[in-house]
Amino acid sequence: MAYSMLNGAENLRLIRGITPNGLGFIRSDLHGNHFPKMGLVSCARNSRTSIKTLAPRCSLSATRPASQPRFIQHKKEAFWFYRFLSIVYDHVINPGHWTEDMRDEALEPADLSDPNMIVVDVGGGTGFTTLGIVKHVDAKNVTILDQSPHQLAKAKQKEPLKECKIIEGDAEDLPFATDYADRYVSAGSIEYWPDPQRGIKEAYRVLKLGGKACLIGPVYPTFWLSRFFSDVWMLFPKEEEYIEWFQKAGFKDVQIKRIGPKWYRGVRRHGLIMGCSVTGVKPASGDSPLQLGPMAEDVTKPVNPFAFLLRFILGAMAGAYFVLIPIYMWLKDQIVPEGRPI
């Protein structure tokens, strides 16, 4: 499967005057026409080269616009979503979006080079990604954390994960000491976090000095219908948003590797549930330098059951569209002759 690496500092650069509005990206478009032009940024001038280095504005922790309701990007909704999805997750969701070869490619930048490393797999669910981690690291050094007991119950049944620690917890408030782990891995979970910046700040906190975070997640579609359904369902970040969150949390050497199912032939216009693997290194011990206010979602607060149900049903229906997309892409891959765009 084709993939490509982008480096936060190297690839997200601006040159003044290259486009009609005065700003344009130099970017390596490794999958050709389907990769979106990146969004607006504010920038700081590099006096030696006259190249401007990306310093993205905005915080994605802010309230979502009504046009992007992302109904399942809440802890309570995600809990119930996985109450049901956990029954079929390994058999229906992963084969379409997150195959074993994708997993191994996505984990490669995590540098799981030592079996004695302490690794946390956050939003580890049924343990599909953990199965990739324990190929390199002793299972007894790996902790799987998830907010869904139903997902974790599936992980507990897997023989290679028998020695892992399996715990319930929240990605935005991790029950690990500061400077605890050598590696932080999270695959396909960020899209449900109400405050992704907080989750990445937590990744930074729990890592040791020199430790590495590897966050695998969706990428935002450019095709209008896919964009509509992704916005109704959950969070599909843009690549520059991942980089912004990592850099703001304090990570250095932030890199993005693009991934996708091989039968998509590099097409990214429908977005991808597992579209990139983002890594960053913790440069100093202790907590993240980033200060945040209170949590975006207070799970102890009562919710209106009718509003909850409506959000849940609409969000889940939008999610169903993304069960069909990989089938559609698979059929196209079968029909369209090799070498032609699909």
Return residues touching ligand SAM (CB under 6 A).
75, 78, 82, 94, 98, 123-126, 128-129, 146-148, 151, 170-172, 187-189, 192-193
Extract the tokens encoding 339.
């070498």
Q: Which is nearer to ligand SAM, 8 or 154 (CB)?
A: 154
**CA–CA separation, 269 and 182 (whole Å):** 35
State in angstroms the smallest separation of the CB of 151 from ligand SAM: 4
Q: Which is nearer to ligand SAM, 154 or 282 (CB)?
A: 154
Q: Which amino acid is at 154?
A: K
| DSSP type of residue 173 | B
Residue 309 has, within 13 A of its CA and on its CB side, a CA count of 3
Q: Which is nearer to ligand SAM, 35 or 204 (CB)?
A: 204
Q: Which is nearer to ligand SAM, 128 or 242 (CB)?
A: 128
Q: Which is nearer to ligand SAM, 146 or 231 (CB)?
A: 146
Cβ contacts of residue 257 below 8 Å, gap of 6+?
A: 3, 4, 5, 6, 105, 106, 108, 109, 276, 277, 278, 279
State in angstroms the smallest separation of the CB of 49 from ligand SAM: 40
Extract the tokens encoding 16.
């003044």
Q: Which is nearer to ligand SAM, 41 or 77 (CB)?
A: 77
State in angstroms the smallest separation of the CB of 240 from ligand SAM: 23
Q: Which is nearer to ligand SAM, 8 or 196 (CB)?
A: 196
Q: Which amino acid is at 103?
A: R
- Reported for 62-67, long-range contacts at CB under 8 A and 24+ positions apart, including other chains, are 67/231
State in angstroms the smallest separation of the CB of 91 from ligand SAM: 12
State in angstroms the smallest separation of the CB of 319 from ligand SAM: 11
State in angstroms the smallest separation of the CB of 298 from ligand SAM: 13
Cβ contacts of residue 199 below 8 Å, gap of 6+?
A: 122, 171, 172, 186, 190, 193
Cβ contacts of residue 154 below 8 Å, gap of 6+?
A: 86, 89, 90, 125, 126, 127
Please identify the residue of the shown chain whose CB is closest to the bound ligand SAM.
125
Q: Which is nearer to ligand SAM, 41 or 296 (CB)?
A: 296
Burial zone of 178 (CB within 10 Å; 0-12 exposed, 13-18 middle, 19+ buried): middle
**The 3-state secondary structure of 287-330, one letter per residue:** CCCCCCCCCCCCCCCCCCHHHHHHHHHHHHHHHHHHHHHHHHHH
Q: Are 207 and 283 in contact (CB under 8 A)?
A: no
Q: Which is nearer to ligand SAM, 38 or 120 (CB)?
A: 120
H/E stretch holding 204 reads helix 196-206
| DSSP type of residue 123 | T
State in angstroms the smallest separation of the CB of 82 from ligand SAM: 4
State in angstroms the smallest separation of the CB of 171 from ligand SAM: 4
State in angstroms the smallest separation of the CB of 36 from ligand SAM: 23
